[in-house]
Amino acid sequence: MTCTVLSAAQAAEESPPSTALEPSRQTEGVVRVIVDFARPLILARPASTLIIGNPAIAHATLSDDKTVILTGKTPGSTNLIVMDAQGGEVANIVLDVVAAGGRLVTVHGGGGRSTYSCTEHCDPIQPSDETTAPPPPSAPPLDEGGEQ
């Protein structure tokens, strides 16, 4: 499966920690990614396919054949497998996605979750399509007499 380009969520006013912007040159091990921030991953050899274990946690796209852009979507861990055009493995990396410096608060309950961006006050963050539960089925329309 080849990943497609998706835009990253708009960055917060506060600058991210420096580790969010520094390119990583790892081909194995663990790479830390901050929610809603992009981070480049430089590959040792050309790649053509990216496979994310859980696309709800992180997104990856090829900027060019040796540069992967990683974006954290929600806190958690998943893996990234990078393959070349012949199907050989270029990299196999664990991605640890973490919230930025306590600015995000996620409340789990009632079969769902809500995420808030907190500074002096907490404001809800619109969830991405991958993590949003589908809306409940709508009731059939009422006729003019008020009956279904």
Residue 53 covered by a domain? yes
The whole-angstrom separation of Cα 102 and Cα 116 is 11
CATH of residue 24's domain is: 2.60.40.1860
The predicted-structure confidence for 84-115, as pLDDT tens digits, reads as follows 999 999 999 999 988 877 566 778 888 787 87
The whole-angstrom separation of Cα 58 and Cα 61 is 10
Give residues with Cβ within 8 angstroms of 3, minimum separation 6: 50, 52, 59, 60, 61, 62
The pLDDT averaged over each successive group of 10 residues in the chain (148 residues) is 32 38 65 92 95 96 96 92 96 89 75 76 63 49 57
Query: Domain range for residue 34?
Result: 18-98
Q: What is the pTM of this model?
A: 0.57
Name which of 47, 66, 50 is nearest 58 in CA terms. Answer: 50
- Count of domains observed in the chain: 1
